[in-house]
Structure 1
Amino acid sequence: MNLSKNFILKNATIIDVESEIIFKGAIEVDHGTIKTIFSEDSDLPPEIESVDVEGKYVIPGLIDMHCHIKEDFAVQFVASGVTTVRNTAGNVFQLKKLIESPIDAPTPRVYSADRMIDGSPGLWGPTSYGNFVTDDPMEGRKEVRRQKDTGAKFIKIYGWISKEVMEAVVSEADKFGLEVSCDLIHASQVNALDAAKVGVKWFEHASGFIQTIYPDWYPSAEQAEWDKIDWEHPDKDKIKELCMQMIKYDLYLCPTLVIFDQINLWPDYWHPANAVAETFERAGGLKDFWVTTAEEYGDALKKQLGTQSQFIKDIAKTYADLGGTVVAGTDTPGGVWTLPGMGLHRELELFVEIGFTEMEALQAATIKAANSIKIKDIGTIKEGNIADMIILNKNPLEDIQHTKDIDKIIKGGRIYTQEEILKEIPSREYLDREQEKFLAEFEKIMSTNS
Structure 2
Amino acid sequence: MSPSLLIKDVRIFDGENEIPNGSVLVENGLIKYVSPGSLEATDESTIVLSKPGYTLIPGIIDGHVHTHLDKENTGLAQSLKFGVTTACDMHQEAEDVAAVREEAARNPDISDFKTSSSAATVLGGWPAAVVTAFDTSEETLAKVATWPNLQTLDDVEAYIQDRIKDKADYIKLMHEDGSSLSVKPTVPPLELQKAIVDAAHRHGFVAVAHSLSLQGTLDILRAGVDGLTHTFCDKPPTKELIDAYLANNAHCNPTLATIGSLTTEGKKEQEAYAHDPRVEKLLSAHGKAALCECMAFSSDSARVEYAYQSVREMRAAGIDIILGSDSAGPARGTGFGITAHHELALLVKKCGFTPKEALRSATSLVAKRLRFHDRGRIAEGLRADLVLVEGNPLEDIDHTLDLRGVWKQGILCSTYKDLVA
The bucket for the TM-score relative to the shorter chain is: 0.7 to 0.9
Cα 1:4–1:153 change in 2 (3 A) is closer
Match in the other structure for 2:180 = none
Single out whichever of 100-109 and 251-260 deviates more from structure 2: 100-109
Matches within 5 A, 1:74-85: 74-85=76-87
Query: What is the deviation of 1:24?
Result: 1.1
Contact 1:367–1:380 (Cα < 8 Å) also in 2: yes
The code of the aligned residue for 2:231 comes to: A
Q: Deviations over 1:364-397 (max 9, x none)?
A: 0001111111222211111111111111111101
Contact 1:170–1:199 (Cα < 8 Å) also in 2: yes
Q: Does 1:156 align with 2:172?
A: yes
Matches within 5 A, 1:150-229: 150-158=166-174, 159=176, 160-185=187-212, 191-207=216-232
Cα 1:61–1:11 change in 2 (3 A) is same
Contact 2:31–2:378 (Cα < 8 Å) also in 1: yes
Report the Cα distance in structure 2 between the residues aligned to 1:12 and 1:258, rounded to whole angstroms. Answer: 31
Q: Deviations over 1:311-331 (max 9, x none)?
A: 111112211221111101110
Match in the other structure for 2:183 = none
Report the Cα distance in structure 2 between the residues aligned to 1:276 and 1:418, rounded to whole angstroms. Answer: 13
Q: Deviations over 1:67-122 (max 9, x none)?
A: 11232321110000000111111124313233223377111111210112233323
Q: 1:338 aligns with which of 319, 324, 334?
A: 334
Matches within 5 A, 1:52-131: 52-70=50-68, 71-100=73-102, 101-102=104-105, 105-123=108-126, 124=128, 128=144, 131=147
Query: What is the deviation of 1:287?
Result: 6.3
Report the Cα distance in structure 2 between the residues aligned to 1:413 and 1:165, rounded to whole angstroms. Answer: 44
Match in the other structure for 1:310 = 305
Match in the other structure for 2:136 = none
Match in the other structure for 1:256 = 255
Q: Give 3-state SS (helix, strand or coil) of 1:77's partner.
A: helix
Q: Deviations over 1:15-46 (max 9, x none)?
A: 2332x223212211101011112331555426
Single out whichever of 122-131 and 49-58 deviates more from structure 2: 122-131
Q: Does 1:415 align with 2:412?
A: yes
Identity of aligned residues (%): 23
Cα 1:280–1:129 change in 2 (3 A) is farther
Contact 2:257–2:266 (Cα < 8 Å) also in 1: no
Cα 1:289–1:122 change in 2 (3 A) is farther
Cα 1:290–1:404 change in 2 (3 A) is closer
Q: Give 3-state SS (helix, strand or coil) of 1:156's partner.
A: strand
Single out whichever of 37-46 and 337-346 deviates more from structure 2: 37-46
Contact 2:406–2:416 (Cα < 8 Å) also in 1: no
Q: Deviations over 1:161-193 (max 9, x none)?
A: 111211221222222111221112279xx7323
Query: What is the deviation of 1:280?
Result: 4.2
Match in the other structure for 2:317 = 322
Q: 2:384 aligns with which of 378, 382, 387?
A: 387
Contact 1:104–1:413 (Cα < 8 Å) also in 2: no
Report the Cα distance in structure 2 between the residues aligned to 1:373 and 1:41, rounded to whole angstroms. Answer: 34
Q: Give 3-state SS (helix, strand or coil) of 1:27's partner.
A: strand
Could you list the runs of 5+ residues in structure 1 that have no partner in the other structure? 211-217, 219-228, 422-450
Report the Cα distance in structure 2 between the residues aligned to 1:129 and 1:399, rounded to whole angstroms. Answer: 47
Could you list the runs of 5+ residues in structure 2 that have no partner in the other structure? 130-140, 177-186
Q: Give 3-state SS (helix, strand or coil) of 2:7's partner.
A: strand
* Higher alpha-carbon Rg: 1
Q: Give 3-state SS (helix, strand or coil) of 1:85's partner.
A: strand
Q: CA RMSD in A?
A: 2.8
Cα 1:346–1:244 change in 2 (3 A) is same
The count of aligned residue pairs is 382
The code of the aligned residue for 1:179 comes to: V
The TM-score with structure 2 as length reference comes to 0.82
Query: What is the deviation of 1:362?
Result: 0.1
The code of the aligned residue for 2:323 comes to: A
Cα 1:67–1:251 change in 2 (3 A) is same
Q: Give 3-state SS (helix, strand or coil) of 1:199's partner.
A: coil
Cα 1:166–1:418 change in 2 (3 A) is same
Q: 2:352 aligns with which of 349, 355, 359?
A: 355
Match in the other structure for 1:222 = none
Report the Cα distance in structure 1 between the residues aligned to 2:9 and 2:391, rounded to whole angstroms. Answer: 14
